[in-house]
Structure 1
Amino acid sequence: MNPTLSLLLCCQLALYGAVMSKKVCGRPHMPDGIDEMGLKRVYEIGEQVNLGCERGYTPGKAKTATITCTASGEWSKLDLVCSPKMCQLPKPMQKPGVTEVPYKSVLNYTCDYGYVLIGANKSVCLHNGTLSAPPPMCAAVNCALPKAPIFGKIVYDDKKFSGHETRYGQTWTYECFPPRAPIGNERGWCLASGNVTEPPVCEEVSCSIPPTIENSVITFAVMRQAGYNEKVKYQCKDHYVMEGSDEIQCQKTGNWSTLPICRAPCKVNINRGRIFYNAKKIWIEDLKPNRVLHREHVVFYCLNKEQKCGIPVASQCFDGTLNIPECFKEPGKTEYHLKPKSLPSEIAMCPLEITN
């Protein structure tokens, strides 16, 4: 090797080693919110950097906002804390404990189904603590007024409705003039699409002559075919109990609504004994007339032979039938007339058994 070239190479290596052995600090790593503009990649020992918060952040109570490159090549401790500015949430979006959002937050707005958004669909929290756009409005979709069916009319649910348009959520009823009935939608409303429901077709409907119901009479009707919505009223004969509505109505199907039933009273079929009926004890011969109405209860008394006490057992009248409990034993004539106080209805009642 050339001596001159060798000497030059050694000098360069020595200089490189001297430079590399010198301590420096790299670009400091900053937490969120601190302004990093103007920071260098390398700093000499002893160099200082004055820091501050970037736009949209507020400094806390820091002891120092200056850091120094130390002899170890590390930066001194930074006490500066920068907190993002906060924007007040619109009241409809506020929740318990959540009334603000930090800088750079994005609020996205949407409206419920059937409503149209008027205004910006989003807003950003700006550096000055205000939102970039006010909250929008949500307006109901408007629909043209519905058309009444031929031979019919429209009855709005909102009795005070007026105007040339309806809005989403408004409802109404389509009605036909008797004896016609609505075939199709009877209820109407403004749809989210801006359209309204189609009106029904009003067709003539008739029902057969009012049917007869056993043990009843028709109190208000003309015995003829009836038109849609016409009514017929029934009344049960004395002591019969009606189940169902006392009125039937001609429906749009051409059939009458459900017919009521007149349920028959019951007779207490014992000759001797005492019962509990209508909140009092009654000897059977004193039950005049011997009649219990449908669904009413009668209590009979049975004998517990082991404990020698009475057991009350209830039975219910159902459409003319009143079952006598199997445990009930009708007393003989002698016992009934000469020893009535020994009957199960007159002795002490058995204690009630309580089960868990």
Structure 2
Amino acid sequence: MFYSNSWTKCLICLIFIASGNAECPKPQVEGNVVLTNDALLMNDFPEGKEATFECANGYLKEQGSERITCTSGKWSTLELTCKKKDCGAPREKPHLKYEFGEEGTLFGASARAICDKGYQLTGPSYRQCYATGWSGRPRCDVVTCNKPPEIMNGTITEKPGEEFPEYGGVIHYSCNEGYTLIGNKSIECNEDGEYNSLPPECKDVNDIPLKPTATISITTTTSSTVQPTIRDANDIPLKPTAIISTTTSSTVPPTIRDVNDIPLKPTAIISTTTSSTVPPTIRGLRLHLSASLHL
């Protein structure tokens, strides 16, 4: 009986000791935390053993301890919390801007590269926020046009310094002596790499068809009437009158213009006709008696 009781007590002690030294299972990870490399290499986690954690790739420690401890076969609560890394706004470059999505500049977000008008994108259209920062290196290069075309019987009087004009560059033309410029005197390099119009032409002035304009006729009439002169018996004028009629006519022939609507030799033919009518002088009684005496 004594032997039996002693054995029972020893068995209870062994069970207590065994349960107090129970090992913990391999720690489980979830969310944005992971086991460190040292913890991953461990196979046994006896009583009192610690396991260490760290933030996952692309995350940074926000607060809490990275360690947990094995106690009575169970792990303590992990207090470590991590947050996404912020890549910040990409570095500014000339004529380049970015369009961001909902994630903004946080880890995993993407940004679309956009160039200003007259510039074209070189490199990736999108950049990704990785743990090491933004991916890719896009840039915006100015759009260029082909070499300015030459023209017959004319020259380029002004152009940009570079061989291939850049966006906004203007090329000016002029014609040689004896030739007239037809079209635009300048062309400009557009944002699509093309000129905004064809270069002008230089035509011989003798080959340019004439362009007559409408005939303009101007007629001016001036009339002035003076009442007849009435004289008394002593041949003294009582009411002098005169009828004067003046008509002025001016005719301007058509103006001859070239194709650029420039008058060549404006001329004018002006015809003026003036007529004056003075009614007979009416005399009084004295003139009548003199005539009777002669009879």
TM superposition score category, shorter chain reference: 0.3 to 0.5
TM-score (norm 1): 0.39
TM-score (norm 2): 0.45
Greater C-alpha Rg: 2
